[in-house]
Structure 1
Amino acid sequence: MKDGRPYGFENVSLGVSGFEWYPNGKEFIVSAGSTRLPTGWEPIKLYRIPKDMHLYEKRAKLLYSIPIDENHIFAVTVGDFKWSDDGKWVSFLGTPTPSWAMDSNPLCVLSSDGKVFKDIGRMLGFNDWFKWAPHANQLAYISGEGRFLVENKNTKIAEIKASTKQVEYTPKGYVDLDLEWLSPSKVIVARSQENKVWEEGPVPTMFTSLFEIDLGSGTQNQITFPMENELDVDPQVVGSYLTWVRKQDETHKGDVLIKHEKKKEARIWIEDVDFSPVIFKK
């Protein structure tokens, strides 16, 4: 910026497959993808680089090197970096080769100094399916392999400590297909019954409604009640408000509903949308 206006750009680094700012706003965490050699897959390397690097390679510091093993952690690149609230941990998704990536992606966590690496689990490659708690080192995500959403999609919360503990919250016979933190102790999920009958043909629509999970008590309550052949998707929380989209079908337009935490009833906020709104959050 110059005099409050955009003013040109400068190259920082080459050879980058994914990146995100460090919370201090002065550095980046960047990834360099793996390539296949006659001896096998190269490690994926993560670097910490200053924003004023100016392509000077010696200023890049190796943060961590992820060994690639098709029987353990398999990915060609990593990205979708997300920092924990205190900036001490960063989570990210690995992306394997194309067909494999449709069914399984490794979810990983790394400490900001690069000293502690954790393989959290396997999930689909949806950026919205893993989120940090507002004020704790807890990572909520939807686990489960397989590209079809009819089964094996379960909400888990990982406690990122010296020894990672995970708790699963999806009841048997159900799938969770989106999530959002409502508060430090409550999580909202979009939940539907499993469909193990389907085997071929068009993939069936999963008619989800929203449930609230209380992590303290373990209780789970349905909080939205769409009509038959309607589904509630894309929950988002801003302050004291919860928003979501109600559709007749996944391919049709829908309405954005909004509800204040102290009120029982929701109201239509925006009508006839193709996608959920992108809401600015400070």
Structure 2
Amino acid sequence: MTAFRRTFLAMSVVLLIITNSTTIYAKKPAELLKAAFIRNGDLWIKAGDNERQQTRGAYILNPKWSYDGQWIAYTKGENEQELWLLQVQTGHSHLVAQEGGRNFQWQPNRNSLAFLTAQQLNWIDSDELAKPKKVAEGIGNFSWYPDGSSILVSTEAKLLDNEWTPIRIMKIPLTANADPTRFETLHVLPKQSDDFFAVGTSIFKWSANGRWIAFLAKPTASLSADGNTLCVLSADGSVFKTIDQMVNNEMWFEWASKDETLAYIEGVGREATTNKHLKVMRIPAGTSVSYTPKGYVEQNFTWYGLRNIVTSRSKEAEWSIDPAKRQFPYLVNVKLKSQHQKLLTQPSETYGDFNPISLPSHQLAWIRSNRSYSNVIVTDPQSKNAETWIENIDLGANYYEQRNWNTVLSFFIRK
């Protein structure tokens, strides 16, 4: 790429469309931001205007910050199996597990990391970096409780004598010391039938008030690519509800930052180019409301305060194996109460705006990409000015245009 081309691209992405006729240019919206990102397969950190490369010649993905920003967990290797920890202050990295990179999560209030190896749940404290401790076996998926005191887990169903074993959702206190007698079963999912068929779950996401848990009930691998059941469970396990059908994408359902309102992208079929609609529902008694106009699809979204959602939207089109024939998305601000929708960005025909991210102080970030070259854009606290903050990050994981940019970008946001 020529120097002129790089300069032109950098200049072209500072445009944020607030109305159809008004453009405002960038000043310095990103001075206090911090992020980990992947460039050319290596891990980098950017804080304000300073970039620092952390690895060399590695194949790094999936950076995740600890709650206080002292550590970053990441995967290494083309199969994303090795699990590593980076101490940010020193720059030193430590191998945690040879096969722990498929599913790992930081404790919400401590620098401890839980991860799965096969179906064994383990955890390690970064202050000790000793041998990981086994928590439980036979685990399909998990998430921390919001207060970090326990881990919520699900088992996987197995086909025995032509009958599926049940899926149990259990609470495991960290003090249980791998003692199954101390595991509390919160709920057993419905038996497999024509109306409900699942053999496992996704991770679990808690409502802001801690009363509800959202998750996907997933059928077998081939079926889960096209359709899964979005469910909610009360925190005590007494109330279980199925909400809707959607693809196997854990980024596509999120609670609001307060109350019990759940947003998600509904629609079966693995292709993100058709039948993907933004819906919002108040749990448990509300009905879902769709905000996607006919002829359009949503490719990702973020809550933007309590009454707005910013979504990455494109025109609906049949799937094409030719990337050049797939529509590029742009950003739209959806006002939930009035249902008024406003165009936020208008990239060129050869670029799209992906993966909106809400940041503190009412800032907004997203990725502008032509599916080959990608930059991170951020706005100022008033969400008026925009600038290119990080240039040339790697592409996020892609599955039929379901693009997971979390594999290459992670902002540090203190809770």
TM over 0.5: yes
1:131 and 1:141 in contact (8 A); partners too: yes
Uncovered stretches (5+) of structure 1, i.e. residues with no partner: none
Q: Secondary structure at the match of 1:128?
A: helix
How far off is 1:52 after superposition?
1.4
> Are 1:145 and 2:268 an aligned pair?
yes
How far off is 1:201 after superposition?
4.2
CA distance in 2, matches of 1:90, 1:135: 14
Deviations 1:31-85 (A, max 9, x none): 0110113353222111112111112111111110002434222221112211111
> Are 1:193 and 2:315 an aligned pair?
yes
TM-score (norm 1): 0.92
> CA distance change for structure 1 residues 230 and 109 in 2, over 3 Å: closer, same or farther?
same
1:129 and 1:179 in contact (8 A); partners too: yes
CA distance in 2, matches of 1:3, 1:132: 29
Match of 1:124 in 2: 247
Q: Which amino acid aligns with 1:139?
A: L
> Which of 319, 328, 332 is equivalent to 1:211?
332
Match of 1:59 in 2: 182
Q: Which amino acid aligns with 2:410?
A: V
Match of 1:258 in 2: 378
CA distance in 1, matches of 2:378, 2:194: 45
Match of 1:173 in 2: 295
Q: Secondary structure at the match of 1:58?
A: helix
Q: Which has the higher contact order (CA 8 A, sep 6+)?
A: 2
Deviations 1:127-178 (A, max 9, x none): 11111101121110000001112211000011112x2421111011100110
How far off is 1:3 after superposition?
11
> Are 1:72 and 2:195 an aligned pair?
yes
The equivalences for 1:81-120 within 5 A come to: 81-120=204-243
Q: Secondary structure at the match of 2:223?
A: helix
Match of 1:46 in 2: 169
> CA distance change for structure 1 residues 227 and 49 in 2, over 3 Å: closer, same or farther?
same
Match of 2:16 in 1: none
2:317 and 2:326 in contact (8 A); partners too: no
How far off is 1:96 after superposition?
1.5
2:136 and 2:178 in contact (8 A); partners too: yes
CA distance in 2, matches of 1:4, 1:38: 46
Q: Root-mean-square deviation (CA), in Å?
A: 1.9
2:375 and 2:390 in contact (8 A); partners too: yes
1:13 and 1:53 in contact (8 A); partners too: no
Q: Secondary structure at the match of 1:206?
A: coil
CA distance in 2, matches of 1:172, 1:238: 30
For these two proteins, the number of residue pairs brought into alignment is 277
> CA distance change for structure 1 residues 201 and 262 in 2, over 3 Å: closer, same or farther?
closer
1:12 and 1:52 in contact (8 A); partners too: no
Q: Secondary structure at the match of 2:136?
A: coil
Q: Which amino acid aligns with 1:217?
A: S
CA distance in 2, matches of 1:173, 1:68: 37
Uncovered stretches (5+) of structure 2, i.e. residues with no partner: 1-111, 113-124, 397-404
CA distance in 2, matches of 1:269, 1:167: 35
Match of 2:29 in 1: none
> CA distance change for structure 1 residues 262 and 3 in 2, over 3 Å: closer, same or farther?
closer
CA distance in 2, matches of 1:46, 1:22: 13
CA distance in 2, matches of 1:167, 1:189: 15
